[in-house]
């Protein structure tokens, strides 16, 4: 019996995992990160208590707690999380002191990659790359069946591979990053700016006249109907996602790349389009036996991953 906690920018999910890949009890709470770390930690502790009571268990029945959090994690401390506004927060020590349960902390995308590998792919490959495209882009690397964290513990920042030195500005301070080209928030912002400037096209009806509701799925749908702006923007997204895949395939020679996140879930042909770009550009030996897969676990991936990593 283990507890997995996925701390996201807007919501936190606490799951009681009672067997490989099985979440028995699940509780969702808002992450009120504007209140600071202390109140969020206390909300999490209260939710752990609630989950245990619902299952009729005591802390002694739980082997470990795994916490998956957005941000850079070093030796079980969340060193820096721009999403949560946290710096050097001692989650492990705090949860262990209150619950008495051994606690581990992992980056959320590493955890999600591990979960998709273990339970989505059933561990059926030893060299796997995870790419999660939501508002931004995160990644995870599994080499020889083990999570690769890098020298300082912050490896797999695939979103900040620079694909065009003179390209769009990225929130990391660099330019031309994969994330700046394909991250949902960036793409939506580029198109929404045009709507705010008065552009209508086919997109206007697709988004129901509500630019504030715009998401990547609308842009793809408008592209498929020949909308002018969305065609230009979406062709670029397909091309750059394909180039990112090409770079990863040529550099790492993975057996599988798993793609997930809201932008992949919310679109129908993006991955297939990018796959064609990748296949056209990659070295042939790098592609031998290679598979590009969709993530299949959704929001459960990080909880299942972080509880099987620990």
- Interface residues with Zn ion (CB under 5 A) are 160, 170, 172, 174, 177
Identify the residue whose tokens are 């989650």.
91
| Strands of 137-143's sheet in order across | 146-147, 137-143, 128-133, 256-260, 291-294
CB nearer to Zn ion: give 101 or 177: 177
Identify whether the C-beta of residue 229 lies closer than 8 Å to the C-beta of residue 203.
yes
**DSSP 8-state class, residue 117:** I
CB nearer to Zn ion: give 77 or 174: 174
Least distance in angstroms from the C-beta of 286 to Zn ion: 25
Query: What values do phi and psi take at 235, rounded to 5?
Result: -60, -35
CB nearer to Zn ion: give 141 or 309: 141
CB nearer to Zn ion: give 1 or 155: 155
CB nearer to Zn ion: give 52 or 245: 245
Identify whether the C-beta of residue 295 lies closer than 8 Å to the C-beta of residue 301.
yes
> Alpha-carbon distance 201 to 232, whole Å?
13
Least distance in angstroms from the C-beta of 176 to Zn ion: 8
> Alpha-carbon distance 55 to 89, whole Å?
29
CA atoms within 13 A on the CB side of 110: 28
DSSP letter string, 129-154 = EEEEESSSEEEEEEETTEE---SSS-
Least distance in angstroms from the C-beta of 130 to Zn ion: 18
Least distance in angstroms from the C-beta of 132 to Zn ion: 15
CB nearer to Zn ion: give 4 or 130: 130
CB nearer to Zn ion: give 162 or 286: 162
Which residue from 34, 35, 36, 28 is spatially nearest to 11, judged by alpha carbons?
28
CB nearer to Zn ion: give 8 or 183: 183
- Give Cα separations from 47 to 6, 25, 52, 262 (angstroms): 12, 11, 9, 26
> Alpha-carbon distance 89 to 83, whole Å?
14
Least distance in angstroms from the C-beta of 182 to Zn ion: 11
CB nearer to Zn ion: give 170 or 274: 170
Those residues with Cβ within 8 angstroms of residue 81's Cβ, 6 or more apart along the chain or in another chain: 69, 70, 71, 72, 87, 89
Least distance in angstroms from the C-beta of 174 to Zn ion: 5
Least distance in angstroms from the C-beta of 159 to Zn ion: 6
Least distance in angstroms from the C-beta of 171 to Zn ion: 7
Least distance in angstroms from the C-beta of 168 to Zn ion: 10
What 3-state DSSP class applies to 16? strand
């Amino acid at each position: 019996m283990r507890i997995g906690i996925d701390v996201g920018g807007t919501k936190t999910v606490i799951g009681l995992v009672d067997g490989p890949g099985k979440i028995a009890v699940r509780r969702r709470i808002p992450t009120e990160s504007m209140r600071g770390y202390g109140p969020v930690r206390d909300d999490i502790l209260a939710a752990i208590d609630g989950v245990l009571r619902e299952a009729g268990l005591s802390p002694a029945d739980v082997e470990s707690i795994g916490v998956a959090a957005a941000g850079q994690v070093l030796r079980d401390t969340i060193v820096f999380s721009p999403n949560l506004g946290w710096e050097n927060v001692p989650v492990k020590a705090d949860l262990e002191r209150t619950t008495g349960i051994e606690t581990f902390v992992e980056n959320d995308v590493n955890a999600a990659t591990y979960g998709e590998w273990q339970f989505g792919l059933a561990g059926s490959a030893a060299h796997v790359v995870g790419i999660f495209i939501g508002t931004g882009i995160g990644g995870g690397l599994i080499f020889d069946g083990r999570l690769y964290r890098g020298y300082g513990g912050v490896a797999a920042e695939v979103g900040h591979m620079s694909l065009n030195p003179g390209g769009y500005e990225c929130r990391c301070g660099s330019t031309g990053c994969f994330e700046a080209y394909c991250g949902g928030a960036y793409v939506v912002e580029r198109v929404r700016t045009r709507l705010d400037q008065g552009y209508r096209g086919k997109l206007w009806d697709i988004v129901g006249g509500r630019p504030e509701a715009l998401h990547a799925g609308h842009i793809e749908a408008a592209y498929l109907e020949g909308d002018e702006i969305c065609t230009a923007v979406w062709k670029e997204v397909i091309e750059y996602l394909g180039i990112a895949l090409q770079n990863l395939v040529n550099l790492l020679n993975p057996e599988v790349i798993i793609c997930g996140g809201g932008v992949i879930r919310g679109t129908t042909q993006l991955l297939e389009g990018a796959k064609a770009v990748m296949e056209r550009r990659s070295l042939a030996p790098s592609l031998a036996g290679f598979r590009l897969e969709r993530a299949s676990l959704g929001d459960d991936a990080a909880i299942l991953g972080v509880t099987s990593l620990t």
